[in-house]
Structure 1
């Protein structure tokens, strides 16, 4: 037996060591389910729990470990799945009354791969309706709280997923990221959140793709190693083709303290500046960009994509008017006013951005930014209205993340080292398209030196 703390605190790697030493997966899952019973009522993160299915999967895992034939390094590891990803036999609502009774009969591809790898699926995690908002609340399940302070939001749209991982209700979570929906919530809860390059994680059959290729499935964990282990399971041919890729000996890193003139909360700015100073002291090559405007056009592009997607979705449901929140109805109304010309113009402008960033990544290996411009705000409010004394709109907190979605780039959020008692702050690293493993290898090499996981004090 591995000498550790409570079983629900173990990483995937630590669980594999424990199982190899004789710990029973059922014992781990029972401890995790008990912890969910204790913690989830305070956070409202897990909204569909499958305890019988999880225990049966744990028993099957136990047999494989006893036979010395685990299906993968994730065999017996407890995971959750965001409620906009399909799991066979479990309700998938997408946070909307439109889908309140929908139960898919097959797994979405990453879920199937996790199941085949022996991971134990505990249940589904809460999301905002249609996963288009930066906080987590809906008319079906209510509001999700942040494990560091349940009165604050964990962000969105993977708010339930990060709350579950950060509080120990699961070891890993599958989330989706369409504009920062993994990275910003990971930053708000002190986790590692990874958005893969477009097409690196094949998705298969799922809910309608209202954000097109902007949205991808990715893992959330408490350490980089568990992100890599997850990608080894859910990644497709593009990921496997990079297996022999090593970390760069001296990567060239550009640091953008902000995009354009977007305000950033001082506590975030200071934490990132300290991380950059420490990185330089360790010998890393980081150039501060006094002005970074390459991503500025996205502020006008993003509403066209998201609003048109919501309008298109609701056009398929004649009975939607009494089943969606007012904010969704407003998005649909705005989207219905966009023409095909508007949509194609937005895509053309994305292509122009792609050319600009292709040139940028010939000069630099990584772009470092804050993961979010604002600290967590009250859990029931959709977004902060002011940042560092400046009035901001609904996406003011989210300025740094969507560019990676629009261009299909790999990006991740990493928890900065901050003072004891302080709320988490995340920094973002973005790499060129299909440099996923290079980015993760770099992050793994810096873990413990530039960033580190902490457990929320509010759990005590």
Structure 2
């Protein structure tokens, strides 16, 4: 039964629903996988098998109606509050932080019947595309232990790819569910802010992070991601970004009526040949299925990236400076690297922040206007596949590409506040997965997921050898 742990969540739920397997039996399979592989991957940082078994037993004994996620084992990034679990955001400054209340999304998952396996590793204060910290160390990629699983939801992506959990939740302010999904060969969605409540995220998604930051579902298939989105999304009355947006379903005919744009690179930062090939194969697949796909490069993307930089990097450092004052010796090298980059510029003045805030609305309006013709845009996720632990630059097409520049392809859509999904669609010469990004306009999350699902038909998740040979 060991192959159960790499099956899609929707298949596991079908097996549970038909009583071909019990919640406890499924939990035991995942416990075994975690105990076998977590010492190598370091994905889960708070895991207690007896606590998992107790949840499964309670589900089996309950007389209440079964929820849509009844018995499904999931994990949660350690920046999302899970009552009784360590949620330290990878920092010694937060060592031992154990929330007493669940985040809204965790409470909804429990109510739907999910079993919480534990919390997953992340970089300090989430400000990195590599998961490493002084509390727990680095998380490795199940495809190659010498490489990162990404960040900041790297522990979550490694856990799902390796069969530790059927699905889970990360968070994303600049690609933090999408880049790890790309690096480990799984699927993810950065939703429109507010469609999945962010209350209970640590640190809070406030100020500019209420626009650029979201909690997003991660899983092995688009159907699984869509299931989590459909089951757990919905307005939270205490969330100022929330909107009463009804769920929508698209027929294949409606999807094919949408004009899709694509770009292989943005003209500023090159991508590896295999990354370019993954975009081309995706376009070929969509055209073969009857979709209308054309090259399209929105002119305002670079302006959006520059504004994202002001909010995420410069304003982000300003948020953390008072938190870390006097505790600099406790900071990880990864977070110090972020601060070194952020402090190359002076702190934002009130005037700069005011004008950046106003300009962001202007640039968002330009992008939305440009996307009238192509409501869906396919792009790379990142310039490179999963990189080796500690790497910070690469030579691509004879050009040196620095760390944060390589990640720019996700950052645009945080500034836009729009949904963006990732699905596996290719391979590097080293045998590493490569994902493609499917982005849309705000509140059109279901459209993005619909196109992602059609792409997945010719590509999709493959279990890494470490997961099936455990």
User: Which category describes the TM-score, using the shorter chain as reference length?
Assistant: over 0.9
Q: Secondary structure at the match of 2:403?
A: coil
Query: In structure 2, what is the Cα distance between the partners aligned to 1:11 and 1:411?
Result: 21
1:69 aligns with 2:79: no
Query: In structure 2, what is the Cα distance between the partners aligned to 1:258 and 1:332?
Result: 25
Give the Å deviation of 1:60: 2.0
Matches within 5 A, 1:159-238: 159-208=154-203, 209=205, 212-213=209-210, 214-237=212-235, 238=243
Give the Å deviation of 1:446: 4.0
Query: In structure 2, what is the Cα distance between the partners aligned to 1:283 and 1:109?
Result: 40
Residue 448 of structure 2, aligned match among 439, 442, 454? 439
Give the Å deviation of 1:184: 1.2
Residue 19 of structure 1, aligned match among 16, 21, 36? 16
Give the Å deviation of 1:387: 3.0
Q: Could you say which residue in structure 2 is the equivalent of 1:452?
A: 460
Give the Å deviation of 1:292: 4.6
- In 2 relative to 1, CA 239–391 (structure 1 residues): closer, same or farther, beyond 3 Å? farther
Matches within 5 A, 1:57-96: 57-64=55-62, 69-72=65-68, 74-96=69-91
Q: Which deviates more from structure 2 when the two are superposed, residues 263-272 or residues 420-429?
A: 420-429
Give the Å deviation of 1:380: 3.0
Residue 420 of structure 2, aligned match among 411, 419, 436? 411
Give the Å deviation of 1:443: 2.4
Q: Could you say which residue in structure 2 is the equivalent of 1:278?
A: 285
Residue 351 of structure 2, aligned match among 320, 341, 347? 341
Query: In structure 2, what is the Cα distance between the partners aligned to 1:239 and 1:185?
Result: 30
Residue 95 of structure 2, aligned match among 96, 100, 120? 100
Residue 399 of structure 2, aligned match among 390, 393, 398? 390
Matches within 5 A, 1:298-447: 298-306=304-312, 307-325=314-332, 326-330=336-340, 333-334=343-344, 337-381=347-391, 383-418=392-427, 422-447=431-456
CA RMSD, Structure 1 to Structure 2 (Å):
2.2
Q: Secondary structure at the match of 1:152?
A: strand
Q: Could you say which residue in structure 1 is the equivalent of 2:107?
A: 112
Give the Å deviation of 1:303: 3.0
Give the Å deviation of 1:218: 0.6
**How many residue pairs get matched?**
451
CA deviations on 1:319-355 (whole Å, 9 max, x unpaired) are 3222223325435645762212222232223212211
Q: Which deviates more from structure 2 when the two are superposed, residues 84-93 or residues 323-332?
A: 323-332
Q: Could you say which residue in structure 1 is the equivalent of 2:5?
A: 8
Contiguous gaps of at least 5 residues in structure 2: 236-242
Residue 134 of structure 1, aligned match among 129, 137, 148? 129
Give the Å deviation of 1:59: 1.1
- In 2 relative to 1, CA 125–6 (structure 1 residues): closer, same or farther, beyond 3 Å? same
Q: Could you say which residue in structure 1 is the equivalent of 2:248?
A: 243
